[in-house]
Structure 1
Amino acid sequence: MELRQLKYFICLYEEGSVTRAAQRLNIVQPALSAQIAKLEEEFGQVLFERTPKGMKPTDAGNQAYRTFQPLLSKLLEARHGMINLAGEITGRVSVGLIASATTTALPDVLQFFTQNHPEVEIYVTTGYTQDLIDSVLSGTLDLAVINQNRQLDSLASTGVADESLFVVTGGPSRLSDEIANVRFQDLQRMKLVLPSRRHGLRTLIDQAFAACGLSLKPRLEIDDLLAIEEFVRHSDWVSILPAIAIHDGLKAGVLHVHSLESPGISRHVACVHSHRCPLSPAARLFVESISKNMLATIEAIEFYKGANVFLQAR
């Protein structure tokens, strides 16, 4: 089995067409077909069914793709690393991000890479914390930025940012300006909209309330934090959101925030990756950029929060 054959197989799998795969590889179609036939002979398995609509992977083909795609990515990344010993950052980075990091930090990070390191290929997907962890464990992703609610012995972990969660309201539902810190038990009586229990933030919130001997039963559950923020802006509902999710609304003066009573709720955002696969230079730079951007946003929250409190007091 040759590296070239794996490249041809993965390209054909992803394109689903000999014509498109050959064009992508810049080779003639008979050469591609011949190498796939050799690979099938070596495996003793048919990897594709030839259909009028294109090449359909068999069960063996699907299994081969799941096995070899991460390996090929690592091999190509290693080759790029050896070629660019002079310090130029290249390679491909497959990243999973929780949605809040994607919304606030990702655009600036991508802008930085496209301007300063255009040779780096970046693949980004979003998801729930547990799904992203599973993808890193399976090798589908190089790394993931997650809400880390517990110790993960199976993965290496590096801190990205720590931030508080706040009680958030819009204009129609402003809590009294006299309230400095909102009590946990008072939130049980409010019209709450929160993420569902699939969401890492909801896990944090439920754990904090359970520690106080309380539980929450919100009437509305929405996993999209942007949708929650937008809904709260224009309603009399209340939510509990992390700092970076309320940055724009607080800056615009359309959201109002209150801290929770001690001990409050905070979250630890971390980067996780396999112990067996240290992060490449490109991946490390990506994580550093995400962290820097998130921390800057969190710091700005304190400024806007203080400015809003001043205006409310006037």
Structure 2
Amino acid sequence: MELQQMRYVVAVAETGGFTRAAERCHVVQSALSHQIARLEKELGARLFDRTSRSVRLTAAGEAFVPVARQALQAAERARAEVAAATGEVRGRLAVGAISTVGAVDLARELGDFHTRYPQVQISLLMDMTEPLVESVRDGALDVAFIGMVPTARTTGVREKELARSELVAVVPPDHPLAGREWTTLARVARENFVDYMAGSAARRQRDDAFRAAGLDSEVAFEVTSVEFLAQLVRAGLGIGMVPEPTASGLPGLRTVRVRPAPERTERVVWSAQGPSPAALAFLSALGVDPE
């Protein structure tokens, strides 16, 4: 069993086809298909069900792909560790972040890191907190910037709190609350809300505060990004609540402080097994000591 064979299998699983996988791996399709067939013969099981219209993982394939990803990540980590031992930082830096990250200027930090460590391949994934933490736990991401209520705890990763902020209401300019500096939680509870998906960490930042005050709220629109939340609020379809630093970057909306205010923390998380050399260099640049 060879790493290249694993890489081909993972590519087919992720692209959904042999042609696209071959393009990603920069090989001819016949060579990729031959290597996967050799691997299937060695394993004694087919990894893919192939039809004229689709390629789907078999049960054996579903079991094989996650382990293959781990093996590829381990090999990549081994190469990076050897390079680090000789004083060179290389390999990959896979970063995840929520759309409301504000504790760091992520674009600037990534740009500075790229300038300092040009041999490191950098990628960025924007998502919600829960899948980001899971991706760090599984090794798909090296570092992630997340937001959670102050009392929430992560599992299977290491973390550091970067900032703590209050949620504020954002409303259209013609809304009755638009001219106010502040209002009560009970008053905003009477509004329809644009909010994140039920059960998400972003949603719990508001839900917990309402629950603690004995209040209910009506969520008419569920979104996955602050940009779309802002668009729906501008259209007059509801109000939203976002971290105060985020609200200042949403043009066309008015900000209203709320009392008592829901709180959230921004955190950076990394692998419980310790950061890779590239992740260690990135965390150190942020002033985070992973020890």
1:173 paired residue number:
175
Cα shift at 1:127: 2.8
Distance 1:54 1:161, change over 3 A: same
> Are 2:275 and 1:282 aligned?
no
TM-score if structure 2 supplies the norm length? 0.77
**Counterpart contact for 1:18–1:54, Cα < 8 Å:** no
Q: Residue deviations 1:17-71, cap 9 Å, x none?
A: 37963893568955x5665444333322223456557875433223211211122
**Counterpart contact for 1:17–1:54, Cα < 8 Å:** no
**Counterpart contact for 1:229–1:246, Cα < 8 Å:** no
Distance 1:204 1:38, change over 3 A: same
Distance 1:72 1:230, change over 3 A: same
Matches of 1:219 and 1:27, distance apart in 2:
50
Matches of 2:226 and 2:197, distance apart in 1:
11
Matches of 1:14 and 1:176, distance apart in 2:
47
Q: Which deviates the most, 151-160 or 34-43?
A: 34-43
1:256 to 251, 254, 259: 254
Matches of 2:157 and 2:263, distance apart in 1:
22
Distance 1:230 1:112, change over 3 A: farther
Q: Residue deviations 1:253-311, cap 9 Å, x none?
A: x433232224x222112233332x2112322454567899xxxxxxxxxxxxxxxxxxx
Cα shift at 1:79: 0.8
Cα shift at 1:236: 8.5
Q: Which letter does structure 2 place at the counterpart of 1:42?
A: E
Distance 1:35 1:87, change over 3 A: same
Equivalent position SS for 1:171? coil
1:243 paired residue number:
244
State how 1:182-221 maps to structure 2 within 5 Å.
Answer: 182-221=183-222
Equivalent position SS for 1:210? helix
1:266 paired residue number:
263
Equivalent position SS for 1:226? helix
TM-score if structure 1 supplies the norm length? 0.73
Distance 1:180 1:89, change over 3 A: same
How well do the aligned residues superpose, as a CA RMSD in angstroms?
A: 3.6
Matches of 2:217 and 2:21, distance apart in 1:
53
Q: Which deviates the most, 229-238 or 188-197?
A: 229-238
**Counterpart contact for 1:173–1:238, Cα < 8 Å:** no
Matches of 2:176 and 2:90, distance apart in 1:
49
Percent of aligned pairs with the same residue? 26
**Counterpart contact for 1:174–1:256, Cα < 8 Å:** no
**Counterpart contact for 2:101–2:266, Cα < 8 Å:** no
Cα shift at 1:119: 2.2
Equivalent position SS for 1:60? helix
Matches of 1:25 and 1:238, distance apart in 2:
48
> Could you list the runs of 5+ residues in structure 1 that have no partner in the other structure?
293-314
Q: Which letter does structure 2 place at the counterpart of 1:258?
A: V
Distance 1:220 1:17, change over 3 A: closer
Cα shift at 1:165: 1.1
State how 1:290-301 maps to structure 2 within 5 Å.
Answer: none
Q: Which letter does structure 1 place at the counterpart of 2:154?
A: L
More strand by share: 2
Paired residues in the alignment total 284
Distance 1:39 1:166, change over 3 A: same
Matches of 1:240 and 1:49, distance apart in 2:
47
**Counterpart contact for 2:192–2:238, Cα < 8 Å:** yes
Q: Residue deviations 1:101-120, cap 9 Å, x none?
A: 39x95544443344443322
**Counterpart contact for 1:128–1:198, Cα < 8 Å:** no
**Counterpart contact for 2:83–2:89, Cα < 8 Å:** no
Distance 1:49 1:168, change over 3 A: closer
Distance 1:41 1:215, change over 3 A: same
> Are 2:73 and 1:73 aligned?
yes
**Counterpart contact for 1:184–1:260, Cα < 8 Å:** yes
Distance 1:117 1:54, change over 3 A: farther
Cα shift at 1:246: 1.9
